[in-house]
Structure 1
Amino acid sequence: MKRDGLKWAKAAPGVIPAWVADMDLPTAPAVVEALQARAAGDLGYPVWLDSETGGPLAEAFAERMATRYGWEADPGVVRSFDDINQALQVLLQVWTTAGDGVAVHTPAYHPFLGTIESMGRTLRPIQFRPDGDGWRADDADLGGCRVLLLVNPHNPTGRVFTRVELEGLAEQAERHDLLVIADEIHADLVYEPHRHIPFATILPERTVTLTSATKAFNLGGIRCSVAHLGMPEVRKALAEQPEFIYGSPNLFGVEATVAAWRHGDAWLAGTLSLLDRNRRTLAARLPSSVGYRMPEATYLAWLNVGRPGMADVLEQEARVMLNDGAIFGPGGEDCVRLNFATTEEILAEIVTRIAPVLG
C-alpha cells in the first residue's frame, strides 16, 4: 500500500511515523466499493441536499446509535460538518462569547485547546491523574462555565467514562445550566470489557453529540462528521445563522461514512483485534521506566517518559516520530503520544528503536 498521506509524508527518510491519528491499514472493502460505485455514477448534486429528514448520513447515524449503543437518536436533528473541530467552533460561536468558560478533561486533544484559546474562551481544565492501572479525573466544579466539552472515549489517555462518572457530570451540567458538547468520535474503538455510553442517553436535552467514521474506519481525509443537536436552544441558534454559512456534506464523504457505518463492522472487528494485540505488545515490551496504562479505547498510547522534550529526542536518536505531550496541555509536559494503529511488524520495530532511548 502506497503511503503518501500527511502521516508518512512529514516523516524524514528512515523515520517511522507514529504521531497523527491515521492507521497504517487498508481501507474497509465496503468503503472502497461504495466510493468506486459513486465515482462511476452520477456526480451531480445529490437528491438528499433537499431532504427534510437529514438524508442518508443522518439516517445511517441514527441506525448505528440504535444498534450499537441502544440510543434512539433523532435523525431529524442531525447536521453535517466537515470535521469535529469545525463543528466545535460553530457551536462555540453561536452559544458562547469571549471569556466564557469551557471545561475540558486534560491532557486534551490539542486542536480543541487551540480552538478554545483562539476564540478567546477560557479553558477550565479537569485534570486526569494516574490511578493504578488507569486514570482518575479530579472532582469537577463547573460553576461559572458555559460549556462542558466532554471527550469520551478520551484522547489522549484512552479512558472510557463509566456511567457513574457520566451521571456525576450530568448532575453538574444541570446544576450550572451548561451545554454539553460530547465528542464521541472514538466510540467504535472501545476494548472489552469496557462499554461506551452516549452522553445523550443520560442528558438528552443538554447534549450535542459530535462523531464521525473517520477514526474507527481510517477515513481522516474524507472530511465528514455529524452533530446530533439534542439541545433545542442550540438548534434555534444555528437556524438563525445565514443559510449557507456552514456549507453542506461532501458527496464522497457521505458515501464513505454510510458504507462504513452500515457495512464495515466485519472489517472493524478485525481491526480492533489487531489494535488489542498492539496495545498489549506495548505493555509487554516498553521499559518499566515508562509510565504506560493500556488504553480502554482508541489506538493512542499515552506514555509518561519522565521529562519534557522527548519527542524530539526520540525522532533524532530512535528515528521514530511521536507527538510531544506538551501540546496536549496540563499534565502532558513529561509525556509523548504514540499511535499504535500499524502492523505488528512495524510496531515491533518502533519498540525496538525507542526502548533503548527510554530505558
Structure 2
Amino acid sequence: MFDQLDPDDLRQRPGAKWALADPGVLPAWVADMDFTAPKAVRAAVARHADFGYPLWDERPEQNPLRGAFVARMAARHGVALDAGHVRLFTELNQALQVVLHVATEPGDAVAVHTPTYPPFLESVHGMGRRLVPIPLTDSGAGWTFDADRLAADVVRHGVRALVLVNPHNPTGRVFTRAELTAIAAVAEEHDLVVIADEVHSDLTYDGFTHIPFASLCPHRTVTLYSASKSYNLAGLRCAVAHVGDARVRSGLAKLPPLLLGEVSVLSVLATLAAWQECDDWLFEAKATLARNRALVAGGLPEGVRHHSPEATYLAWLDCRELRLDVDPAAFFLERADVLLSPGPDYGSTGYVRLNFATSGPLVEELLNRMATAVATR
C-alpha cells in the first residue's frame, strides 16, 4: 500500500514537505510521512456532524483521550499512569514551552541531548533559558553519552530541568534501561523536572525496546506523546502530556484556563481513531519503514557514514569525510535535487537528516541522486 505513491500527486499536496520543494526536487526533510493517513482516521473525521462545544469543555475529565492514552501506555508498555494527570495540548512544542514556563525561570539551565530537534533548541534559547548540552558521541558502534559528565554538568551549571527526547531525534537512538536509569539517578539526586518527549516511541524497530521514562521516575516526569508521527497527523494539532510532577501540575493550575487554547473536536476524534482502530495501518507502515531503513543503509554515497536508527524514520548522516566546501544539505540540493534537513539546525555541522518515510522507489531514487552527485563532484 505505501509504495503506491506518485510524485506528481504528492506535489499537489498543500503540506509544507512537498509544497516548499522546487519542481524536480525530492523532499526528504521535515518529519512528515508521505503515506496517506489511515482510512479509519479519515472516516472518523468525515462522519462527525456535531461541531458545537464539546462536553469536555465543561468536564475535562470526560475527554476520551485521557483514558485512551492511559490504556495505551498500559497495554504497550505495562506502565500505570493516572488519567487525572493527563493534559491536552495542540502539539509537543507547545507542551514543552508551557512546562518550561511553569517549571523554570529565565536564566535557569536546561539539559538537552545534542544534536537535537531544532524547535526544542529554539524554545530553550528563545525563552531565555541556558542550554546545557548532553553530547551524543559516535562510539563507532552507535551513539552514546557520558552519564558521569551529565551528573557533573548538572551540578556545575545548576540545571533545573532535563529534556529527554527518546527515541532520539535526529540520531534515532532508543536509550537503554541502563542509560535511562543513570539519567533517573541524576534527576533524583538533583531534583530535576524531566520532560520526556516520546512521540516516536511507536516507531521502534525489532530488536529494540522503548522504556517510558515515567516507569523509572514517575513523580518528576512529564511525558509528551501524540499520534502525529506514528500516524502522520501532525497538521491536526493534538498532543497529550502526562504530568507526573506535582510542581508542574500546580504551575499549570495557576495559568488562566483558556490561555493555552484548546484542541479541536476533530483532532481528538482523529487521534482516538488512530490509537484504537489503526494497528494494522501502523504495522504495515513500520514494515515499510524497516525496508526503507535497510535501503538507506545499503545505498548511501561513499564517504557518508551513519548508524541505522533504532526508531523513527529519520537517518542522521555524517558527511564530513566528503570535505565539501558548502553545507552538505546545500550540496545535495544543488547537485542532486534532494532536499534534506541541514545539520547546523540541530547543532552539528557536516551532517544532514534524511526522512525515508516514503515509497521504496522514491527512497531508491533520492539515494541514487545523492550517490551520483558525490561520484561526479
Fold equivalence (TM over 0.5): yes
Q: Given the alignment, which residue of 112, 132, 135 partners 2:143? A: 135
> Helix, strand or coil for the counterpart of 1:347?
helix
1:104–1:149 Cα contact (<8 Å) kept: yes
| Structure 1 residues 40-74: Cα deviation after superposition (integer angstroms, max 9, x where no partner) | x1111111222242511111111111111111111
- Please say if residues 54 and 76 of structure 1, whose CA atoms lie closer than 8 Å, have aligned partners that are also in contact: no
Q: Equivalents in 1 of 2:173, 2:332: separation in Å? A: 25
Instruction: Give, in whole Å, the separation in 2 of the partners of 1:277 and 1:128.
Output: 26
Partners of 1:133 and 1:352 in 2: how far apart?
26
Moved more, 90-99 or 132-141: 132-141
Instruction: Normalising by structure 2, report the TM-score.
Output: 0.92
- Runs (4+) off by over 3 Å: none
**What residue ranges of structure 2 are gaps of 5+ in the alignment?**
1-8
Partner of 2:121: 113
Identify the match of residue 332 of structure 2 among 290, 314, 319. 314
One-letter code aligned to 2:328? M
State which of 331, 350, 354 in structure 2 corresponds to 1:338: 354
- Aligned partners of 1:349, 1:324: CA distance in 2, in Å? 20
CA distance in structure 1 between the aligned counterparts of 2:55 and 2:248, rounded to whole angstroms: 27
2:279 paired residue number: 265
Q: Which residue does the alignment assign to 1:35?
A: 45
Separation in structure 1 between the aligned mates of residue 332 and residue 119 of structure 2, nearest angstrom: 23
Given the alignment, which residue of 308, 314, 317 partners 1:300?
314
CA contact (8 A) 1:52 1:76 kept: no
Unaligned runs of 5+ in 1: none
Residues of 2 paired with 1:115 and 1:218: CA distance?
Answer: 23
Counterpart-to-counterpart distance in 2, 1:154 and 1:74: 25
Report which stretch shifted further, 52-61 or 70-79: 52-61
Q: Which amino acid aligns with 2:203?
A: L
Residues in 2 aligned to 1:57 and 1:50: alpha-carbon distance in whole angstroms: 15
- Checking the alignment, whether the CA contact within 8 Å between 1:205 and 1:231 is kept in structure 2 is yes
Q: Which amino acid aligns with 1:202?
A: L
Shift in Å, 1:132: 2.9
**Residue-pair matches, total:** 355
Partner amino acid, structure 2, of 1:49: D
Q: Contact conserved, 2:93 with 2:120, CA < 8 A, in 1?
A: yes
The answer to whether the Cα contact below 8 Å between 1:54 and 1:79 also exists between their aligned partners in 2 is: no
Task: Give 1:289 shift.
Answer: 1.2
Task: Say if 1:294 and 1:236 are closer, same or farther in 2 by CA, change over 3 A.
Answer: same
Q: Give distance in 2, aligned partners of 1:157 and 1:54.
A: 38
Give me the identity figure in percent.
50
Specify the SS of the correspondent of 1:228.
strand
Secondary structure of 2:42 counterpart: helix
| Deviation sequence 1:86-138 (CA, Å, 0-9, x none) | 11111111111111111000000010000101111000001111123321112
Amino acid paired to 2:44 = A
Q: Secondary structure at the match of 1:195?
A: coil
- The residue matched to 1:292 in structure 2 has which SS? coil
Q: Partner of 1:23 in structure 2?
A: 33
2:116 partner amino acid: A
Report matched runs for 1:281-300 at 5 Å.
Answer: 281-300=295-314
Answering whether residue 245 of structure 2 is matched by residue 231 of structure 1, we say yes
**Corresponding residue number in structure 1 for 2:224:** 210
Superposed CA deviations along residues 110-168 of structure 1, whole A, max 9, x for unmatched, are 10000101111000001111123321112312221000100000000000000111010
Q: Is the 8 A contact 1:54 1:78 kept in 2?
A: no
Give the SS at the match of 2:335. helix
Instruction: Give the whole-Å Cα distance in 1 for the aligned partners of 2:284 and 2:140.
Output: 29
d(CA) in 2 for partners of 1:54 and 1:285?
49
Please state how far the C-alpha of 1:288 moved relative to its aligned partner: 3.6
Which amino acid in structure 1 is aligned with residue 315 of structure 2?
Answer: A
Aligned residue type for 2:281? W
Contact 1:305 1:358 in 2 (8 A): no
The equivalent of 2:202 in structure 1 is 188
Contact 2:302 2:371 in 1 (8 A): no
Classify the secondary structure of the residue corresponding to 1:53: helix
* RMSD, aligned α-carbons: 1.1
Task: Give the TM-score of the pair, scaled to structure 1.
Answer: 0.97
Larger CA deviation: 333-342 vs 71-80: 71-80
Distance in 2 between the 1:291 and 1:357 partners?
16
Counterpart residue type for residue 290 of structure 1: V
Per the alignment, in what secondary structure is the counterpart of residue 61 of structure 2?
coil
* Correspondence for 1:84: 92
Could you report, residue by residue, the CA deviation over 1:278-305 in whole angstroms, capped at 9, with x for unpaired residues? 0111111113411111000000000001
- Aligned with 2:261: secondary structure? coil
* Partners of 1:325 and 1:80 in 2: CA distance: 31
How far, CA to CA, are the matches of 1:79 and 1:358 in structure 2?
48
Q: Distance in 1 between matches of 2:252 and 2:86?
A: 12
